[in-house]
Amino acid sequence: MESLWTKLQALLSYDPLSPLIFSSGLFLYLFVGFFLGYWLLRNTTRMRILYVVAFSLYFYYKSSGFYFVLLLLAATYDYLIGYSLYFTKSPRARKWLVAMSVVINLGMLGYFKYTNFLVDMTNELFGAGFLEFQNIFLPVGISFFVFQSMSYTIDIYRGQLRPLDSWFDYLFYLSFFPQLVAGPIVRASNFIPQIRRKAVVTREMLGTALFLILTGLFKKAVISDYIALNFVDRIFDEPLLYSGFECLMGIYGYALQIYCDFSGYSDMAIGLALMMGFRFPKNFDAPYRSATITEFWRRWHISLSSWLRDYLYISLGGNRKGKGRTYLNLLLTMLLGGLWHGAAIRFILWGALHGVALALHKMWLAVVPGAKVLGKDMNPVMRLLGILFTFHLVCLGWLVFRADSMQTAGLMLHQIFAAFDPNLIPQIVAGYRGAFLLMAIGYLLHAIPDRGDSWLRGVITRAPMGWQVAMVVVMIWLVMQVKSSDIQPFIYFQF
């Protein structure tokens, strides 16, 4: 009895060292129980909504503790503001209302995410101790649900959306657990029409969901976690202890790690939502096959890049105010996009690098006749050269993004150019055999053409139920073979 009570307490309590994530065994057990209840309630709309909201709040509580109250607050004030926006006729009042939503959302985000960054910057200017650092916990996923909530009120202000009549419906949209803590950032205009639609899940949808969950789990729990713990983290922690080849492979490894980590989460989120009858847009589309930096941002974290385009870049004027202003708008958008990722100089520099690259590519398109935006429009040689150039430009950005300091980034570049020593390559590859094998598998899978991905999706989707169960068992066994003693949180949980 005491053991049962202890387990129940663990289920109902928040452990900051062990957040509830999709790749954990606990989530698997909880989701199976949740899904059985969901299936029983699928034809009773009101009960289904309340049931999903309750589980979503529990899921967020297990990820961020009592900070789930922030989610309730965001759902309340933006629901009220959105309702007021729709029925207010005065243009001046409507501007004040949408400004209030933006200020409250960004103010909440700024307090939790940037207070200590500003304190640090102030102390750099006026001397150590001028301001005291605050003990502030960053709630998981706050950047994602704040952006979702802002898109709701902005779309109503622009006349593109009608507000919801029910607060619970809005809470359902904002708290929906598959995308709550790390995206994708789902637009209200895409999601809201699905809330009260009859929950229909076909055999094909279940098969597609299984494909997405299995591939996402493989990318996250097998490739990303293994190469991070057994290779990438070691290189970035002490780059001077490693050769230039190891440092270069560490950068390539991190590029694969962050892609597999984040796209793996997105795949699982999309798959879990699909199992409940909800369709999310694709969030990643083989970004390292991009032949230009513009194409990269059409393939990487699509929900964020499109959000920045529609709500920031266009609001700044987009490309409507001349070439110079267009380049400036691109730079400002990416600077703020970098700052969205975290309160540190390295994220701002990462955003600046991409902003400058996007502006230069836009300039290149304007002055070079026949220059292409997308690789599919290039001849094979130019496309290959473009992919190699774009990939290494992106990797340079990942170096700045991942390194703890610019000194670390500088040391890694120094090792690459001054201590490469190709004679060590066979020995290094043999020493990190497992990590290099998974890196090779990851990049080879990434390079598979779309038709290969569609074929594999079809094989899993159309497989008999017994074979699908066997695939799940094999994947769980594989995850158990490579996992570390501690569950590795998703990288984007910190953003």
Q: Are 293 and 285 in contact (CB under 8 A)?
A: no
| Rounded (5°) CA angle 321-323-328 | 85
The angle, 0 to 180 degrees and rounded to 10, between the axes of the packed helices 167-175 and 142-157 is 130
Residues 324, 326, 327, 331, Cα dihedral to 10°: 130
Catalytic residue among 341, 361, 392, 414: 341
Q: Are 119 and 130 in contact (CB under 8 A)?
A: no
Tokens of 124: 């750099």
H helices present in 322-344, as ranges: 323-341
Tokens of 197: 């639609």
For residue 488, the 8-state DSSP code is P
Instruction: Tell me, yes or no, if 341 is annotated catalytic.
Output: yes
Using alpha carbons, select from 251, 305, 298, 228 the residue that is nearest to residue 487: 228
- For 83, 86, 162, 163, the CA distances from 157, given in Å and listed in that order, are 10, 7, 10, 10
Provide DSSP, 362-425. Answer: HHHHHHSTT--SSGGGS-HHHHHHHHHHHHHHHHHHHHHHHSSSHHHHHHHHHHHHHS--GGGH
Could you give the residue numbers annotated as active site?
341
